Amino acid sequence: MVTPVGLTVEESWANLLAGVSGAAPITKFDPSRSSVRFACEVKNFDPSPYIDKKEARRYDLFAQYGLAAGHQAMVQAGLAEPGVINPARGGCIIGAGIGGMQTFTDNVEAYLTKGPERVSPFFVPMFIPDIAAGLASIRYNLRGPNFATVSACASGAHAIGTSWQLIKGGIADVMLAGGCEAATTGLTVAAFGNMKALSTRNDEPTKASRPFDRGRDGFVLADGAGMMVLEEYEHAKARGATILGEIIGYGASGDAYHITSPPADGHGAMQAMQMCLESGNIALEDVDYINAHGTSTPQGDIAETSAVKAVFGDHARKLVFASTKSMTGHALGAAGAIEAVISLLVARTGEMPPTINNDDPDPDCDLDCVPNVKRSAPVRVALSNSFGFGGHNVTLAVRAL
């Protein structure tokens, strides 16, 4: 992982358990004219351990984050060096909700102020959302399925779920999958701010993301990346891989309702969770933890809570339904992948990061969100929910092995 609270899995996980907020005043541009002047930026990122300095100048930051997180995953899996697997049986899917937004805005400004001759010849391959997957495929000689999923805030989760399906279908043995985003730009902050989607707590950035709290007023924009190596079980065993866990379910649905707002009853989220449980033959009572989409928006948090209650019935009050976006912010296309990694860590360790800033719980969001302080308890199955503009819904199920 590369997140607003850490540049590795270990650092991010430690800070999540400690309840550290990644929100702070924006540093990537001058936000003085913006209605929102804070975000969850990635801090102190240095691409040089992962990417040649000359090459890095030709990659937008979102791709740099994706390659960094991808390399961490490939090293852990023992696949960073060539020759370990059949290249034709290895693939890569990396989701991005927006892609190279800084590259886009820089080149639009160059075009409008300096003329067409000043547009970078690298503009297109730096901007397109699929380039992170392409770069990773080249780097690790992955010649199997290779593309991007672009489904707003469900992109990273779609990438993981689709990769799981490709392996189950016999199309690939190994897939590098996840999501990356670096959308904290003046244009993006202005756009989300003008549509009233963002929190405006400029004086208290670390208190701004407050899922399920009565005082929530919008999400906090974030950057980052989360990546996983998925591998067919017998293939992984045969090469002696260190296996961290198992993906046992995947559900995907569409709200068919509104371009940005979820339906009040959360029917699309319900369907995704039900499909996920059915795909893995998972009993309701075996689910101990759900990493909520939980963006800290007034409508979204209530709709997701309603959906969980509808799916799980009485068991909804016995499971944990927490939002790590209270600390990481909302990393758009990377969010689902970051949270899939977090869900796996929860299942492996039994440690549950808190939902911070839950000081005045909304009575309509009355499930156990692990308010403010981490908790330890055995977790048999963990779910991860991701929902995106356009009505895209994904649920993933993971367990430890």
> Which residues participate in catalysis according to the annotation?
153, 293, 330
For helices 101-114 and 186-194, angle between their N-to-C axes, nearest 10 degrees: 100
Please report how many Cα atoms fall inside a 13 Å half-sphere around the Cα of residue 84, on the Cβ side. Answer: 20
178 DSSP β-pair partners: 94, 227
Region of 55 please: left (phi>0), alpha (psi -120 to 50) or beta: alpha
Spatial separation of the C-alpha atoms in residues 400 and 246, rounded to whole Å: 6
One-character DSSP codes across 163-207: HHHHHHTTS-SEEEEEEEE---SHHHHHHHHHTT-B---TT-GGG
Residue 152 gets which letter from DSSP? T
Query: What 3-state class would DSSP assign to 22?
Result: coil
Spatial separation of the C-alpha atoms in residues 198 and 211, rounded to whole Å: 13
Q: Please provide residue 218's backbone torsions phi and psi, each rounded to the nearest 5 degrees.
A: 135, 170
Question: Pairing between strand 224-231 and 174-181?
Answer: antiparallel
Distances (CA, A) of 177 to 66, 133, 151, 291: 10, 9, 15, 19
One-character DSSP codes across 201-251: -TT-GGGT--TTBTT---B-BB-EEEEEEEE-HHHHHHTT----EEEEEEE
Give the CA angle between residues 151, 156, 159 to the nearest 5°: 90
Do residues 159 and 74 lie in contact, with contact meaning Cβ atoms separated by under 8 Å?
Answer: no
